[in-house]
Structure 1
Amino acid sequence: MQTRRQTLFSTLLVGVSLLLAAPLHAQQAQSPADTDIRIGNVMPYTGPLAAFATIGRAESAYFDMVNERGGINGRKVKFISVDDSSNPKTALEQTRDLVEQQNVLMMFGSFGTPGNLAVRKYLNEKNVPQLFVASGDEEWAHPKAWPWTMGWQPTFRAEGRIYANYIQAAYPNRKIAVLWQNDQFGRDLFRGLQEGLGDTAGMIVADLAFDATETRIENQLGILKASGADILVFDGAPAIAARAIRVVAGMDWHPVFILDNASASIASALQPAGLQNSLGVISTSFLKDAGDAAWKDDPHIKAWDAFMDRYFPDGDKDDIYAVFGYAAADTLLQVLRQCGDDFSRENIMRQAASLKNFQSPIALPGIVINTGPNDFRPIKQMRLVQFDGNAWQPIGDVIESAFTTVREDN
């Protein structure tokens, strides 16, 4: 009897020792007994890119709606969204706190390329999902090198190629000027534009870069006007986009104005620029414009309007970032529903890589999400749009960005 007691005591000691010796992140991983799903998110609620914070606010409101309707597979969502002021160092500090102190199950939808690059290594070493990154960089689609990181939106590079194809078809032999933000975001789109133009890339007669913190770009626009360009491709954040549209309108220069998708917000860019000044601006989209009369009878847009009224009453229905946040959160909802009762981090990534022809209710017709173990680019289609002074109107059909097929990591 004494021997059995000693054996039991020794077994208990071994078990306790193993538990204490386990890595902190392993101890903190959520278990099937947990009653909520803790989701971390980092947004620029302050700083030069604060316009994009609407994405985080819309996502928070979306999960409030989900919780009011009973949660996901019987569990409520706790969405913890924090500010990094677009500072990569702060993004890493905040992400560490969310994982190690707030015990989040995953990071979802955090904004921006520099901040997400800063935390990618940490999250992959911890085996924490970094899902549906709010950035169109190509760095989120390397499943072999970074198996816990996945993007969501079309890539900036693909967008640049779409503009190139449009220019070649609609404005052949016209001179092109490019004003681009001097960071990876700006470089990727510019690179795609050059690649898409191919042998005709020589039609780019001038290009100038600006820092994301700049507030005055009159000198750059004056130089670009003097180049004799008929087309101006702008790639930067909403506030500076608004200034560019307004300045161009006031300097008696009337180029075809192509605006990057990230700044194609009526609320954050076109209204501050002046809707009359913005008339004719061309961009891309993969989401419905809730202000477009074409969707007034669409049941999904009606549901979105009701969502805004009830859960995000302070939000602006003309702000495409509210639509973006809603659609991204809706995609995550689908992933979590597919998880069933298994909310392990491994299963979350498995389900994220198993989306088949999923369509967000507020995505444009023909925009579907497909992923796989070697395909971490959920959205691969876009549509050219033009601002008519009131809403974005489609130009042509949905474009399948087949040239952005996933390359295998070396």
Structure 2
Amino acid sequence: MNTRSKAVRNALGIVALGSALALTLAGCSRAAEPGGSGDGDGEATASPGITDDSITLGVTTPLSGGTAGPGNCTVAGLVAYFGQAGPIEFGDGKTREVTVEAFDDTYDPQKALSNFQQNQSSVFAFTSGLGTPTNRAYREAAIEDEVPQALVMTGDPLFSDRTESPWQLGFVPIYQNEGAAFGELLAESAEEHTVAILSQNDDFGEGYVEGFKEAIEGADNIEIVEELTYEATDTSVDAQLTELAASDADVFFNAMSITPLVISSIEKARELSWSPSWFLPSNTSSPGGILSPAGADPEDGFYSVSFSKAPQSPAFAEDEDVVAFLAALEEFSGDYTTVPEFPHCMWSYIVGATLEQAFQNMEEPTRESFMEALTSISDFQAPLMLDGTAVDTTVDGQPAVSTVIVQRYNGQGYANAETFE
């Protein structure tokens, strides 16, 4: 059994103890004065998952299955950040060790819900986990039980609606923002273009397409000539690629989240002698994890968006942030990955830095104080963030990161794309 499996099993093994602790704390809260919790001296009663010297974060994410590559990265960067940072001084004056417990959901919503239910009383907050359907699966339960679901990796706008719930906050830009960035770049082109679209048949795919279509509305030089969908459970998209290739569109807007399907779609397009320019979501555009294994030809034009520095890019080979990140990943993240093939490795590292900002400003060891501190971060230039992007958690309706930069694959990494070529 590997270390990660042991960690997950150990986490499951303490559920009963965690539940008992939660009941004890609940009893203390009921005995507290109205409007606050704690003892007679006015000190707040700590929420589950935090003590005077430690705090435990939970991550439910795909550690196995088709999205295991990105999923493991959602933990690796987080573990690397807090391993490097060491104990953190919180806003209440206590210094705490940060522990990360990861639970495999295989990108299955029911498993994600089960992970939440079994571990909510032993972790302080859930964070960083990948996936719209999986994060949605336990969202209502998290709201009901007032458990933070903070800086999760879904671009679903639902997680940034503070009016509906103060317990959620998305991390990555909403899907509409990414789709719009592609559309705006294309609309600014001086040439006429035909577009074929393949999207995941859920909120993920719909959000990307919605943003793209809104951005190209009124652009006389762009025509959508074919539009198809696929299911996240599909094992092949060959039929869709064959039909889309027949359109002979010169631009392929490919809103897919399943790594093997993106690779196979690039391979299938080549087999069909179809060479459009590609627009790929930020989470399925990895040079090392997707484009290189698929044999993507940079001459075709592969575009994506980003807000984080890519270690694979020669431009960042000696970047101070990147050097520190790679060293931390190598030293602390062996249970998950030490090779940042997917951007989620960098994203979860940024999540760690953002969580540290919140920890330093939360004045009580409670989930309420944490969410108040988390949603008060403005213009934070976290390590690994590209120039022109920043963390801002203060805007209702927007996630922690709302700006992206369009980039083009150059065979090694990505370079900023000022225009569509």
TM-score range, shorter chain: 0.7 to 0.9
- Corresponding residue for 1:107? 126
Tell me how many residue pairs correspond in the alignment: 374
Say which SS state the counterpart of residue 292 (structure 2) adopts: helix
Q: Which segment drifts farther, 282-291 or 237-246?
A: 237-246
- 5+ long unaligned stretches in structure 2: 1-23, 32-36, 38-44
CA RMSD of aligned residues (A): 2.5
- Corresponding residue for 1:170? 189
Offset of residue 39 of structure 1:
1.0
1 or 2 for the larger relative contact order (CA 8 Å, sep ≥6)? 2
Tell me if 1:134 matches 2:134: no
2:60 to 38, 42, 50: 42
* Equivalent residues of 1:386, 1:392 under 8 A apart: yes
- Corresponding residue for 2:228? 208
1:218 to 211, 228, 238: 238
Structure showing the higher helix proportion among its residues = 1
2:270 to 245, 249, 263: 249
Say which SS state the counterpart of residue 19 (structure 1) adopts: helix
* Equivalent residues of 1:267, 1:318 under 8 A apart: yes
Query: What is the TM-score when the length of structure 2 is the normalising length?
Result: 0.83
- Cα distance 1:243–1:368, how it changes in 2: closer, same or farther (>3 A)? same
* Equivalent residues of 2:49, 2:123 under 8 A apart: no
- Corresponding residue for 1:336? 359
Tell me if 1:396 matches 2:418: yes
Separation in 2 of the partners of 1:252 and 1:367? 38
Offset of residue 72 of structure 1:
4.1
Query: What is the TM-score when the length of structure 1 is the normalising length?
Result: 0.85
Separation in 2 of the partners of 1:43 and 1:320? 15
- Corresponding residue for 2:322? 301
Q: Which segment drifts farther, 216-225 or 356-365?
A: 216-225
Q: Give 1:234's aligned amino acid.
A: N
Separation in 1 of the partners of 2:177 and 2:385? 18
2:402 to 369, 376, 380: 380
Separation in 2 of the partners of 1:329 and 1:173? 43
Separation in 1 of the partners of 2:130 and 2:235? 21
- Corresponding residue for 1:122? 141
- 5+ long unaligned stretches in structure 1: 1-15, 398-410
Q: Deviations 1:279-302 (Å, cap 9, x if unpaired)?
A: 631111111111111112321111
- Corresponding residue for 1:179? 198
* Equivalent residues of 1:132, 1:328 under 8 A apart: yes
* Equivalent residues of 2:83, 2:328 under 8 A apart: no
Write the mapping of 1:275-286 to structure 2, written as runs, cut at 5 A. Answer: 275-276=296-297, 280-286=301-307
Q: Give 1:51's aligned amino acid.
A: G
Offset of residue 47 of structure 1:
2.4
- Corresponding residue for 2:261? 240
Q: Give 1:114's aligned amino acid.
A: P
Rg (Cα) greater in structure:
1
Tell me if 1:231 matches 2:267: no
Separation in 1 of the partners of 2:317 and 2:120? 42
Separation in 2 of the partners of 1:256 and 1:276? 10
Q: Deviations 1:235-292 (Å, cap 9, x if unpaired)?
A: 1122211111122123221211111111011232112212546863111111111111
- Corresponding residue for 2:279? 258
Offset of residue 318 of structure 1:
3.6
Separation in 1 of the partners of 2:110 and 2:377? 33
- Cα distance 1:96–1:160, how it changes in 2: closer, same or farther (>3 A)? same
Write the mapping of 1:146-157 to structure 2, written as runs, cut at 5 A. Answer: 146-157=165-176
Percentage of matched positions with identical amino acids:
24
Separation in 1 of the partners of 2:264 and 2:50? 51
Separation in 2 of the partners of 1:347 and 1:21? 15
